[in-house]
Amino acid sequence: VTMAGIADEHIVSITLPKITAKIAKESHGRAANRRAPSYKSVEYGTIKIEIGAAGQKSAEDLAIRILQDGNCEEGEFMDILIDMKDQSLKKVRCTFTLIGCGLKKFDWAPKLEGGKEGLATCTLEFMVEDFRFAVAHK
């Protein structure tokens, strides 16, 4: 994972955005039912990045810098690159490129309770303007 402000070794998990295509309805004359549907727009959900305890301070600093004034400026949007590698972790099989990601939400570490297992993590949630992927394997 490549993104500004967070080291990739601190990332515990990533949830990729949901992609929803909106279909345009066109009807012109008798052949209206035989036309292929066309896309009106594509909407992207949010990406959630869960960060371990070692990276919580850097995630908190990133959230404070971006969210403190309540206004996301153009310079605060970032690109996030995710490389999916094979079992040997040497060959890149697929690259996800998330363009224009703006921080939407920062969740602190969950409440730790005795007798329950779990990691002390925090979550960054980003809005996504554009989503691209490239498959590298043959």
Instruction: Kindly state the average pLDDT of the residues 44-64.
Output: 89
Alpha-carbon gap, residue 71 to 77, rounded angstroms: 11
Instruction: Kindly state the average pLDDT of the residues 105-132.
Output: 80
Q: What is the pTM of this model?
A: 0.76
Q: Which helix (H) or strand (E) holds 56?
A: helix 56-67
Q: Which two tokens stand for residue 20?
A: 């929803």
* Higher pLDDT pick, 72 / 98: 98
The predicted structure's pLDDT at residue 116 = 65
Q: What is the CA radius of gyration of the chain?
A: 19
The predicted structure's pLDDT at residue 128 = 92
Q: Tell me if 3 sits within 8 A of 97, measured CB to CB.
A: no
Q: Which helix (H) or strand (E) holds 62?
A: helix 56-67
